[in-house]
Amino acid sequence: MTDALLIDRDDRGVVTLTLNRPDVRNAFNGALMQAIGESVDELAADPEVRVLVLTGAGPVFSAGADLNWMASMRDYTFEENVADSRRFEAMLRAVDDFPAPVVARVNGHALGGAAGLLGCVDLAVAVRGSLFGFTEVRLGIAPAMISAYVQPRIGTSQARRYFLTGERFDADRALTLGLVSEVCEADDLDTTCGRIVSELLAAGPGAQRETKQLIRQIDRLGRDESRELRLELIARLRVSAEGQEGMGAFFDKRPAAWIPTT
């Protein structure tokens, strides 16, 4: 594992991954992308992980691609570029497919691939004053890898604007677009993220994992094709141990067993 990615886990099952290259504004290079992808894949296999938080060290979430790394790619062959893109896709896919809730703690600017990474999380909290942008076209390339994750989030009409102009926009605009879920002042970032994490920890972890899969299936199948799947899911969860505990706690007016006591 590289020092460019810090991993912290608390006793509630909340794991924080911190992009730790503040000297280059937490920019992505091959090693960092691989570390994120491999770490997220490993954590995905751990049922004790309740929430995954992504953030950046210092005042920036991530500036996108590392300039030195990008410069080296000018000499890559087509095959080498494909291999590199597969590494980036693996990182995005790992975050997007993560079974438990994923929260982005956007502590500053998120540009290029970093803005694309936000299309893979479930919730994102951004500090007011941070900037976002899908800046690839300004470099003569395209947002090819992130498009499949961002376009469903912001919609085709907004993708037509922001993918084609490469312009930067602020956190309030990112909120309007749906790229982030909440905007706060920098001094309130920890409190706001803490509140959201607490809300997530109040829900049944098994139900959350099933719900994440349900969301994907609804996107793919629609109402009619998903009917039997939905009927079977709710019936199965009602008789599950977690479902019985949750309904029992509600009627007994007590906290459910999965809610942390600290």
Task: Tell if the pTM clears 0.85, that is, is over it.
Answer: yes
Domain boundaries, the chain: 5-200, 204-252
pLDDT in tens, 122-179: 999 999 999 999 999 999 999 999 999 999 999 999 999 999 999 999 999 999 999 9
Query: Across the chain, what does the average pLDDT equal?
Result: 95
- The answer on pLDDT for 262 being more than 80 is no
pLDDT 10s digits, 175-233: 999 999 999 999 999 999 999 999 999 999 999 999 999 999 999 998 999 999 999 99
Specify the pLDDT at position 56. 98
Q: What tens digit of pLDDT does each residue of 79-105 get?
A: 888 888 899 999 999 999 999 999 999
CATH number of the domain at 5-200, please?
3.90.226.10
Q: Rounded distance, CA 84 to CA 126, Å?
A: 29
| pLDDT digits 0-9 by tens, 18-43 | 999 999 999 999 899 999 999 999 99
Helices 241-252 and 227-238, axial angle in degrees (round to 10): 60
Residue 65: per-residue pLDDT: 86
- Contact between 171 and 189 under an 8 Å Cβ cutoff? The reply is no
Task: With a cut of 70, say whether residue 1 has pLDDT above it.
Answer: no
